[in-house]
């Protein structure tokens, strides 16, 4: 096989990045925007030792689940990967991603435990409660942009279909103010305005805006005063990030400018303070569903001691606390631990404690205090659990583990190691990010006595 070769390809399954995958002479061929079940005439664009990349030239068989895409940026943006697939079929494909990962990365038989149907959203649009936008000058005007997929080109975005529509309206108004005030916005040249962070609470409809700037100067101050005067948002912050070569959005210094110090989001009956850099799930509606599944899987009876590892701002631990005897949260990020303590106080939850540091360091210290955990809850980043954490779990077993995953591949690899001592009861997928290829999952494991 070589570049520019053309052939007919039957698409067999979906890849983790939303591509259709077929096989030509046993070589996997990845085709953007192709759907399992389709027959496509493709042209090869890249060949590697174990795979090839191809593009669609024509369709020989079109999937009945293919739909028209509403988004004008879809082909270039890359943030969404499966907007061309019917939502009811997407949930089947996302479950298949988990099955495929289990088959590929473990010795487990996925038929030996239940992999449930994916929990979908009825309305898979306007769900994201936070936007992070880069700022550029386009044709002499400030624009919010994304970096075009597979390139360094910028793509101006005026209205994103997966963002809460209030975010789109706030962003549009701020850009209008910036253009009236002629705010300098070319980060590659070191000019003032670099990023715009916008959050909206799904429950209270409060909004928070953070301007990330190279430096705090009179231009930025007057810009912020105009945003305040126009009552664009409920809370306004300015973050200073002067590191033009780094990849971090936020700098070390954040200045509260006007309005409320924080906005409130609710999950069920619980309230949580949100600040500019607070980690919080981006889909509030599905987060409610996720935490309900975690609570159901925990099967708590007011007698259990629970560890909430990678606890962030304490959301899962606080959600479980009223059904547990005691909850201990561990989180590496110092700001998140402070927010977690604040959230526990806000919700009058008194049987939860938070500790700042790594799980590998702090869990042994808690065990030395003769704390006997009944349930471990893990909600790690996409990289999953480290081998050190897994070794610690295996050496200090508990009755039940609940694993919340956002990455099927790392989940499968971790389950393969945990299965030495634990039985997988079930996996329940959840579509936390509709229109994308990402899939969340809740896994319940029990100790093999």
How confident is the prediction along the chain (449 residues), in pLDDT tens digits per residue?
Answer: 899 999 999 999 999 999 999 999 999 999 999 999 999 999 999 999 999 999 999 999 999 999 999 999 998 998 999 999 999 999 999 999 999 999 999 999 999 999 999 999 999 999 999 999 999 888 888 899 988 877 778 899 999 999 999 999 999 999 999 999 888 765 555 568 899 999 999 999 999 999 999 999 888 999 999 999 999 999 999 999 988 888 899 999 999 999 999 999 999 999 999 999 888 999 999 999 999 999 999 999 999 999 999 999 999 999 999 999 999 999 998 989 999 999 999 999 999 999 999 999 999 999 999 999 999 999 999 999 999 999 999 999 999 999 999 999 999 999 999 999 999 999 999 999 999 999 999 999 999 98
Does the CA dihedral 405-358-415-21 come out positive or negative? positive
The phi, psi pair for 54, rounded to 5°, reads -140, 160
Residue 325 token pair: 């005897």
Which residue carries 């044709």 as its tokens? 139
Q: State the Cα–Cα distance between residues 47 and 439, nearest whole angstrom.
A: 28
Spell out the residues 6+ positions from residue 292 whose beta carbon is closer than 8 angstroms to its own.
268
Catalytic residue selected from 77, 210, 233, 406: 406
The answer to whether 406 is a known catalytic residue is yes
User: Closest by alpha carbon to 144, among 188, 197, 190?
Assistant: 197
How many CA atoms does the CB half-sphere of 408 hold within 13 Å?
A: 24
What distance in Å separates the CA atoms of residue 141 and residue 228, rounded to the nearest whole number? 21
Question: In whole angstroms, what is the distance from residue 85 CA to residue 258 CA?
Answer: 43
Tokens of 189: 């040249």
pLDDT of amino acid 153: 86
Spatial contact of 84 and 436, defined as CB atoms under 8 Å apart: no
Domains for the chain: give ranges and CATH numbers: 6-66 (2.40.50.140), 93-122+282-447 (3.40.50.150), 130-267 (2.40.50.1070)
Using alpha carbons, select from 340, 341, 204 the residue that is nearest to residue 280: 340
User: Residues 309, 330: contact at Cβ < 8 Å?
Assistant: yes
Residues 394, 122 contacting (CB under 8 angstroms): no
- Give residue 364's pLDDT: 95
Q: Identify the sign of the CA torsion 361, 362, 367, 373.
A: negative
pLDDT at position 147 is 83
d(CA 13, CA 28): 11
For residue 50, CA distances in Å to 13, 39, 437 come to 17, 22, 22
Q: State the pLDDT at residue 335.
A: 87
């Amino acid at each position: 096989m070589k570049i520019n070769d053309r052939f007919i390809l039957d698409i067999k399954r979906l890849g983790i990045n939303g591509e259709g995958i077929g096989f030509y002479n046993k070589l996997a061929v990845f085709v953007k925007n192709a759907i399992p079940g389709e027959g496509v005439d493709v042209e090869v664009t890249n060949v590697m030792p174990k795979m090839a990349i191809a593009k669609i030239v024509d369709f020989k068989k079109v999937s009945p689940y293919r739909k028209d895409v509403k988004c004008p940026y879809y082909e270039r943006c890359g943030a969404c990967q499966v907007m061309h697939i019917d939502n009811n079929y997407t949930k089947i494909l996302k479950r298949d991603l988990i099955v495929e990962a289990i088959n590929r990365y473990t010795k487990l038989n996925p038929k030996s435990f239940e992999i449930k149907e994916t929990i979908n959203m009825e309305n898979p649009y306007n769900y994201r409660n936070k936007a992070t936008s880069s700022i550029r000058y386009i044709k002499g005007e400030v624009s919010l942009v994304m970096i075009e997929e597979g390139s360094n080109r910028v793509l101006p975005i005026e209205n994103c279909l997966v963002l809460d529509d209030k975010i789109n309206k706030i962003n549009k108004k701020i850009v209008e103010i910036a253009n009236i005030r002629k705010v300098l916005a070319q980060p590659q040249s070191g000019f003032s305005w670099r990023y715009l962070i916008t959050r909206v609470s799904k429950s209270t409809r409060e909004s928070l805006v953070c301007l990330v700037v190279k430096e705090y100067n009179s231009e930025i101050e007057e810009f912020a005063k105009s945003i305040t005067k126009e009552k664009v948002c409920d809370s306004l912050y300015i973050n200073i990030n002067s590191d033009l070569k780094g990849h971090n959005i936020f700098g070390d210094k954040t200045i509260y400018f006007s309005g409320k110090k924080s906005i409130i989001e609710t999950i069920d009956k619980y309230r949580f303070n949100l600040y500019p850099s607070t980690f919080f799930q981006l889909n509030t509606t599905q987060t409610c569903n996720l935490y309900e599944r975690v609570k159901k899987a925990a099967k708590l009876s007011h007698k259990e001691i629970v560890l909430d590892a990678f606890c962030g701002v304490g959301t899962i631990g606080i959600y479980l606390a009223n059904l547990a005897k005691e909850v201990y949260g561990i989180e590496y990020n110092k700001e998140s631990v402070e927010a977690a303590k604040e959230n526990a106080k806000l919700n009058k939850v008194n049987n939860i404690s938070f500790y700042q540091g790594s799980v590998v360091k702090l869990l042994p210290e808690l065990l030395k205090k003769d704390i006997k955990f009944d349930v471990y809850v893990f909600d790690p980043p996409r990289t999953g659990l480290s081998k050190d954490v897994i070794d610690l779990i295996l050496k200090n077993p508990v009755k039940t583990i609940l694993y919340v995953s956002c990455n099927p591949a790392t989940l499968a690899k971790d389950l393969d190691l945990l299965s030495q001592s634990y039985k997988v009861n079930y996996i329940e997928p959840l579509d936390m990010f509709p229109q994308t290829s990402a899939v969340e999952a809740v896994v319940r494991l029990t100790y093999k006595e």
